[in-house]
Amino acid sequence: MAGLFNLRRYGASIARHHLLTGGSTRRRPPPHANVFGRALHTSSVLDRVVSFHLSDIGEGIREVTVKEWYVKVGDVVEQFDNLCEVQSDKASVTITSRYDGKIVKLHHSVDEIALVGKPLLDFDVEDQAEDDSGSSSSSSDEETERPADAKPAATAGQVPAGKVLATPAVRRIAMENKLDLTKVPATGRNGRVLKGDVLEFLQVIPKGTVKPHPSLVASKDQRKPEPSTPTPIDLKQAETVVPLKGVAKAMVRSMTEALKVPHFAYCDEVDVTKLVEVRSQLKEEAARQGVKLTYMPFFLKAASNALLQHPILNSSFDESSESVIYKTYHNISVAMQTPQGLVVPNVKNVEQKSILQIANDLNALQERGAKGALTPNDFANGTFALSNIGIIGGTYTHPVVMTPQVAIGGLGQTRVLPRFDEAGRVVPAHIMVVSWTADHRIIDGVTMASFSNLWKQYLENPNLLMLGAK
């Protein structure tokens, strides 16, 4: 048996040397070759030295200290045999073998540092020749025969169909457990079934314990299908041309002109908690009079009262004569969504009306807008504008001044937020953010901020609106 083992281990090496030297040089065979006599033959099993790298042991550890070797050079080990114990800065780990073979080199001595990903020791293992179709007296022990009509493997490193690469020890475990090796996922090089694969398949060890050989991972990456190329699309057929008309066409012209004006922006926060209470108290009475009372009439009346103190915001700019045209009437425009698109009609003479009258006029505009029955007079002679974007959502905005007007306000969504009261206690408050935009050619920041403060004062103390109610 010892002679047969040496024949299998060294016969191919001597044969290769003989072929390379052409037989012209005669060398004395090594002592272990004496047992061969003249029984040299080539075999598909070749000697190969494999470096066993220290794998990642987790937790970001990059280096360990070798504390003890359980093997020495010349020892023959099998898979899962203990090789050594290493010590990290967190724990001790026992390193086990993933190969069957002979130890030929230890890269580190005890108490030396070993790096993760670097060689730990070298194995002399049996390596199947790339061409598994060669005849061998031991092929029946190493492989499950494929059908006679199966074609030989055409690509090096691939396992022919119907064959399973495995060692006798692995086959013995499979036979004892009546296991078909063709059903066991292989993780060894060239598709070899390892002992760990069988134990994992039999659920003796946890799934995922055995890591695939790097060559298998690389081959899987190479076999990834290339992303399919999408079918070219005729861009002309995938596009739809819709000519603008009506409100959309008018908006193109108005916004183009408006954005020629230099804009100044200013934002502030308004506590409308008291306004919420007042409106809640008045909406039932307004409903009995057939009027839907929203917050917008309060916003319009507060703006009108503040415009009395800052009339330049209720003006227009004559660019040709470089003059400002002040207007005593407050026709405040209100942006509203209709089936035809966003329109901005105005409530006439807000300064002369009560909150209930403003609400009634606003309801009438909304009804006509929903029916598409707004008239040119509903849009004419606007002097100031408010846009309540908060009914849709959003907190801040940057509205565009509608020329020839010189200012506009954008109202954000009212939210309940924690605030401090006069006693320093945290209380829930209804907070709304207003975003003002003005024509910076004639409106400066102080004017806009002063107007905003006064408008805010009316809303935070809605009873003040009643003092000047008409």
The burial class, CB within 10 Å (0-12 / 13-18 / 19+), for 285 is exposed
User: Global pTM?
Assistant: 0.51
**Under 8 Å between Cβ of 270 and 460:** yes
Nearest partner of 100 among 37, 178, 165, 55, judged by Cα: 165
Q: Which two tokens stand for residue 132?
A: 């598994």
What pLDDT score does 218 carry?
61
What pLDDT score does 92 carry?
74
What pLDDT score does 143 carry?
40
Give 36's pLDDT tier (boundaries 50, 70, 90). Answer: very low
- Rounded CA-CA distance 430/306 in Å is 22
Task: Give the sign of the dihedral formed by CA 358, CA 364, CA 368, CA 374.
Answer: negative
Bridge-partner residues for 126, per DSSP? 47
What pLDDT score does 37 carry?
41
> Is 301's pLDDT higher than 90?
yes
Give 220's pLDDT tier (boundaries 50, 70, 90). Answer: low
Query: If you average pLDDT over residues 44-67, what whole number do you get?
Result: 74
Active site residue 398: no
> Is 54's pLDDT higher than 50?
yes
Query: If you average pLDDT over residues 232-261, what whole number do you get?
Result: 82
What pLDDT score does 268 carry?
95
Query: Cα dist. 351→282, 297, 306, 362 in Å?
Result: 21, 12, 10, 14
Of the residues 56, 131, 421, 444, only one is catalytic, namely 444
What pLDDT score does 149 carry?
40
| Dihedral of the alpha carbons of 437, 443, 446, 451, in degrees to the nearest 10 | -60
**Under 8 Å between Cβ of 399 and 409:** yes
Q: What is the pLDDT of residues 162-190, one digit of tens each?
A: 578 888 788 888 888 888 888 888 887 77
Domain boundaries, the chain: 49-124, 168-202, 261-466
- Rounded CA-CA distance 19/192 in Å is 29
As a whole number, the mean pLDDT across the chain is: 79
What pLDDT score does 210 carry?
75
- Rounded CA-CA distance 409/399 in Å is 7
> Is 73's pLDDT higher than 50?
yes
Check if CATH label 3.30.70.1290 holds for domain 261-466. no
Active site residue 107: no
Q: What is the pLDDT of residues 385-432, one digit of tens each?
A: 999 988 888 888 899 998 899 999 999 999 999 999 989 999 999 999
CB-based burial, 202-234: b 16+ in 10 Å, e otherwise: eeeeeeeebebbeebeeeeeeeeeeeeeeeeee
- Rounded CA-CA distance 90/447 in Å is 68
**Under 8 Å between Cβ of 143 and 165:** yes
Q: What is the pLDDT of residues 198-218, one digit of tens each?
A: 888 888 887 777 777 766 666
Check if CATH label 3.30.70.1050 holds for domain 49-124. no
What pLDDT score does 245 carry?
75
What pLDDT score does 270 carry?
96
Give the list of residues 6+ apart from residue 244 with CB closer than 8 angstroms, or none: 252
What pLDDT score does 469 carry?
58
- Rounded CA-CA distance 212/192 in Å is 10
Give the list of residues 6+ apart from residue 441 with CB closer than 8 angstroms, or none: 261, 262, 317
CATH topology for the 168-202 domain: Dihydrolipoamide Transferase (4.10.320)
User: pLDDT > 90: what percent of the chain?
Assistant: 38
- Rounded CA-CA distance 408/73 in Å is 88
- Rounded CA-CA distance 436/266 in Å is 5
> Is 124's pLDDT higher than 50?
yes
